[in-house]
Amino acid sequence: MSQERLTSPALHQTQCGASVRKIKEILRLKWEMGLSNRVVARSCRTSHSTVGEYVKRAEIAGLKWPLPEELDDDRLYELLFPRAEKTENQTIPQPDWNEVHAELSKKGVTLKLLWMEYLDANPSGYGYSQFCDLYRKWSKKLNPTMRLNHKAGEKLFVDYAGQTMPVVDPETGEIREAEIFVAVLGASSYTYAEAQWNQDLPNWVKGHVRTFEYIGGVPEVVVPDNLKSGVTKPCRYEPGVNVTYQEMAEHYGVAVVPARVRKPRDKAKAETGVQNVERWVLARLRNQRFFSLAALNRAMRKCLEELNDKKMEHLGKSRRELFESLERQALKPLPASSYEYAVWKKARVSIDYHIEFEKHYYSVPHTLLHQYVHSRVTERTIEIFFKNKRVALHPRSKARGKHSTIKEHMPPSHKYYSDWSPERFIRWAEKTGPDTARLIQAVLNTRSHPEQAFRACMGILTFSDKHGADRLEAACRYALAHEVHTYRGIKNILENQLDKADQGEEEAIQPTLLPPHANIRGKDYYN
Per domain, the residue ranges of the chain are: 9-80, 97-139, 155-330, 343-409, 422-508
- Positive or negative: CA dihedral 394, 397, 401, 407: negative
With bands split at pLDDT 50, 70 and 90, how would you rate the model's confidence at 5? Answer: very low
Task: Give the architecture (CATH level 2) of 155-330.
Answer: 2-Layer Sandwich (3.30)
Mean pLDDT confidence for 506-526: 50
20 phi and psi, to 5 degrees? Answer: -65, -35
Mean pLDDT confidence for 224-250: 63
With bands split at pLDDT 50, 70 and 90, how would you rate the model's confidence at 357? Answer: very high
pLDDT above 60 for 506:
no
pLDDT of 90:
61
Mean pLDDT confidence for 428-453: 86
Mean pLDDT confidence for 204-216: 95
Q: Dihedral (C-alpha) 489, 493, 496, 502: value to the nearest 10 degrees?
A: 150
Mean pLDDT confidence for 223-241: 53
pLDDT of 410:
80
pLDDT of 456:
86
pLDDT of 397:
93
Mean pLDDT confidence for 345-368: 90
pLDDT above 80 for 86:
no
What average pLDDT does the chain have?
Answer: 81
Beta bridge partners of 312: 317
Contact 125, 118 (CB under 8 A): yes
pLDDT above 70 for 249:
yes
pLDDT above 60 for 232:
no
pLDDT of 239:
32
Name the pairing type of β-strands 255-256 and 221-224. parallel
pLDDT above 60 for 237:
no
Mean pLDDT confidence for 262-280: 80
- How far apart, in whole angstroms, are the C-alpha atoms of residue 299 and residue 25? 39
Mean pLDDT confidence for 456-463: 89
pLDDT of 72:
85
| H helical segments located in 434-511 | 434-445, 454-461, 463-467, 469-481, 487-495, 503-508
- How far apart, in whole angstroms, are the C-alpha atoms of residue 294 and residue 206? 15
Q: Which residue has the higher pLDDT, 444 or 259?
A: 444
- How far apart, in whole angstroms, are the C-alpha atoms of residue 303 and residue 280? 7
- How far apart, in whole angstroms, are the C-alpha atoms of residue 222 and residue 373? 30
For the full predicted model, state whether its pTM sits above 0.85: no
| H helical segments located in 2-72 | 9-27, 37-44, 48-60
pLDDT of 349:
92
Percentage of the chain with pLDDT > 70? 80
Mean pLDDT confidence for 490-516: 64
pLDDT of 229:
60
- How far apart, in whole angstroms, are the C-alpha atoms of residue 270 and residue 276? 10
With bands split at pLDDT 50, 70 and 90, how would you rate the model's confidence at 317? Answer: confident
Which of 126-140, 196-210, 356-370 shows the lowest mean pLDDT across its residues? 126-140
Mean pLDDT confidence for 419-428: 81
pLDDT of 304:
96
Which of 52-66, 82-96, 120-134, 270-284 shows the lowest mean pLDDT across its residues? 82-96
Mean pLDDT confidence for 157-174: 93
- What's CA 275's distance to the chain center, in Å? 30
pLDDT of 366:
87
